[in-house]
């Protein structure tokens, strides 16, 4: 027999519950019986019609008829019931596989499809690839090495003697629990890519020309220009008769290839334990073109100097060759140059990003700009 809305006399929680259950049961049953579009419409009207639909009747019979003290509770129950019935009625569809169901289940081909976002190369990785590419065209090959390194490769074989103050400039993150080992075997996170110079020379006899991209770590709190993790690209060329002139010519060419043929380069004396002499390479600021000004404003990236420091470099110190002497690197016979640059810093300058942290937060809105 078709469901009719009963009058309620008992407004106890149990009675309300039972009445609601019967109503939902009836609606579920009728929804399953719908065979075509006409029946679907009749079913919807029977339950939802404003005028005398079942929900309207429930409102009138159960709510309006409720005694004052039961009104609140009945209101809550009736609202729950209405939500449930609405859900059932809206979810109802024509059963079976007749022509009508095709209409009901028709796909709207005019709706936009699901967009799969296309990824973009991360600006740091793009800069990394560009730098490596410039040296590959000059005949350099790529070498890599471990991020967790020993004291020997990160310091000792690079002519940082134990306890030498130059170690302090590297803000090293050490791996815990290494004290029982001899110092040279203790593990740390490499602070630069230079240890791969030694590792490569142990494996390959001269002549060599390599670039070494990789991740490095230092104990620097993150801020707009520092990160405990960053990227470097190292270079090493060793042969007979390599001179400082070769170093200057190679790096001048590389800077022009990276930043445009109008940049000028400039070398200032510096110090690294593993190169002698050592230098820092500056290029004319590619933001202000070397003028130190942006319109009427001072140029911030170069601090108005017109020059930007891009890397450290120098001639390989003969003391470094001593550590790999037995593999053909006799300091009396070979010479070489090395350089190391920070990829992230160059990416910041290249793309005019003012905070290094954007590179590492993984915010898609930031990265999309490079798509």
Residues engaged in binding ligand PHE (CB under 6 A) = 192, 194, 234, 272, 275, 312-314, 338-340
Tokens 């990003």 belong to residue: 353
Phi, psi angles (nearest 5°) of residue 285? -55, 120
d(Cα 152, Cα 140) in Å, to the nearest integer?
Answer: 26
259 vs 339, which CB is nearer to ligand PHE? Answer: 339
Tell me how far, at minimum, the Cβ of 274 lies from ligand PHE, in Å: 6
> Are 178 and 187 in contact, with CB atoms under 8 Å apart?
yes
290 vs 312, which CB is nearer to ligand PHE? Answer: 312
DSSP notation for 311-343? EEEEEEPHHHHHTTGGGT--TTT-EEEEEEEEH
306 vs 314, which CB is nearer to ligand PHE? Answer: 314
Tell me how far, at minimum, the Cβ of 107 lies from ligand PHE, in Å: 59
Tell me how far, at minimum, the Cβ of 194 lies from ligand PHE, in Å: 4
123 vs 314, which CB is nearer to ligand PHE? Answer: 314
206 vs 340, which CB is nearer to ligand PHE? Answer: 340
Among 138, 146, 163, 248, CA closest to 198:
146
Residue showing the smallest CB distance to ligand PHE in the complex: 340
> Are 275 and 317 in contact, with CB atoms under 8 Å apart?
yes
Tell me how far, at minimum, the Cβ of 278 lies from ligand PHE, in Å: 6
> Are 261 and 233 in contact, with CB atoms under 8 Å apart?
no
HSE, side-chain direction, 13 A CA sphere, residue 120: 13
d(Cα 117, Cα 266) in Å, to the nearest integer?
Answer: 43
265 vs 275, which CB is nearer to ligand PHE? Answer: 275
Tell me how far, at minimum, the Cβ of 235 lies from ligand PHE, in Å: 7
Helical (H) or strand (E) element with 309: strand 307-316
Determine the Cα angle at 44 with ends 38 and 104, to 5°.
55
47 vs 272, which CB is nearer to ligand PHE? Answer: 272
Q: And the tokens for 87?
A: 């859900």
Tell me how far, at minimum, the Cβ of 113 lies from ligand PHE, in Å: 49
Tell me how far, at minimum, the Cβ of 340 lies from ligand PHE, in Å: 3
């Amino acid at each position: 027999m078709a469901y009719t809305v009963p009058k309620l006399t008992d407004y106890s929680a149990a009675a309300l519950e039972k009445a609601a259950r019967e109503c939902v049961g009836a609606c579920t049953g009728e929804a399953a019986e719908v065979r075509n579009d006409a029946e679907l419409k009749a079913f919807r009207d029977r339950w939802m019609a404003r005028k005398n639909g079942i929900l309207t009747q429930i409102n009138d019979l159960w709510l309006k008829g409720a005694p004052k003290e039961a009104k609140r509770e009945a209101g809550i129950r009736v609202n729950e019931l209405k939500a449930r019935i609405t859900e059932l009625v809206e979810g109802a569809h024509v059963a079976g596989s007749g022509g009508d169901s095709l209409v009901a289940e028709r796909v709207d081909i005019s709706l936009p499809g699901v967009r799969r976002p296309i990824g973009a190369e991360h600006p740091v990785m793009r800069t990394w690839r560009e730098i490596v590419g410039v040296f590959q065209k000059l005949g350099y090959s790529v070498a890599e090495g471990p991020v967790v390194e020993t004291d020997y490769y990160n310091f000792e074989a690079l002519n940082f003697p134990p306890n030498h103050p130059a170690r302090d400039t590297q803000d090293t993150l050490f791996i815990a629990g290494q004290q029982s080992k001899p110092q040279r075997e203790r593990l740390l996170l490499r602070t630069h890519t230079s240890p791969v110079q030694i590792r490569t020379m142990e494996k390959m006899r001269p002549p060599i020309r390599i670039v070494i991209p990789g991740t490095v770590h230092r104990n620097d709190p993150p801020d707009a220009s520092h990160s405990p993790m960053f990227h470097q690209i190292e270079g090493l060329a060793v042969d007979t008769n390599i001179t400082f002139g070769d170093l200057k010519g190679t790096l001048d060419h590389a800077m022009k290839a990276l930043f445009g043929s109008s940049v000028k380069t400039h070398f200032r004396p510096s110090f690294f334990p593993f190169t002698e002499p050592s230098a820092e390479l500056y290029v004319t600021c590619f933001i202000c073109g070397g003028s130190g000004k942006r319109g009427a404003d001072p140029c911030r990236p170069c601090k108005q100097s017109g020059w930007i420091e891009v890397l450290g470099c120098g001639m390989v110190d003969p003391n470094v060759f001593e550590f790999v002497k037995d593999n053909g690197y006799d300091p009396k016979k070979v010479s070489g140059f090395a350089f190391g640059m920070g990829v992230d810093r160059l990416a910041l300058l290249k793309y005019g990003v003012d905070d290094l942290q954007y590179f590492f937060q993984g915010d898609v809105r930031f990265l999309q700009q490079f798509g």
